[in-house]
Amino acid sequence: MLLRIDAGSPEPLFAQIAATVRAAVLRGELAAGERLPSAKEVAGSLDVNLHTVLRAYQDLRDEGLIELRRGRGAVITDRAERYRELHDEIPRLVARARDLGVSPSALLALVKEASS
């Protein structure tokens, strides 16, 4: 699994880590039942605080994408299949917004508005 974060970005590091995992699920690189690397290993490699990685994993657990089990670590749940369904639709929406001149932040706000 590839994890890439930008310490200079205004987006919090934990959100970036969670976003990387979601993207990997969407692309099908992480399937249901697969285990994420331990938070300690990720924290050491990315040179971030352990709690930053744990926060990312907790967020992913709260949305149901992973399960945190003592001794087994973080495991991708069956919800991965549902995320995967969106794989084709999201790029379509993004491309359409670009064609229409709707900025990414405006699109994000629109999606948020529609989901609430």
Give the interface with another protein as residue ranges (CB under 8 A): 1-9, 28-29, 31, 34, 37, 41-42, 45-48
Distance CA 8, CA 23 (A): 20
Question: Which amino acid, residue 90?
Answer: I
* C-beta of 47 vs 99, nearer to another protein: 47
Considering Cα of 49, then 53, then 58, then 59, what sign does the dihedral take? Answer: positive
Q: What is the rounded CA–CA span in Å between residue 74 and residue 67?
A: 6
Shortest reach from residue 114's CB to another protein, in Å:
31
Choose between 3 and 102: whose C-beta lies nearer to another protein.
3
| Closer by beta carbon to another protein, 31 or else 106 | 31
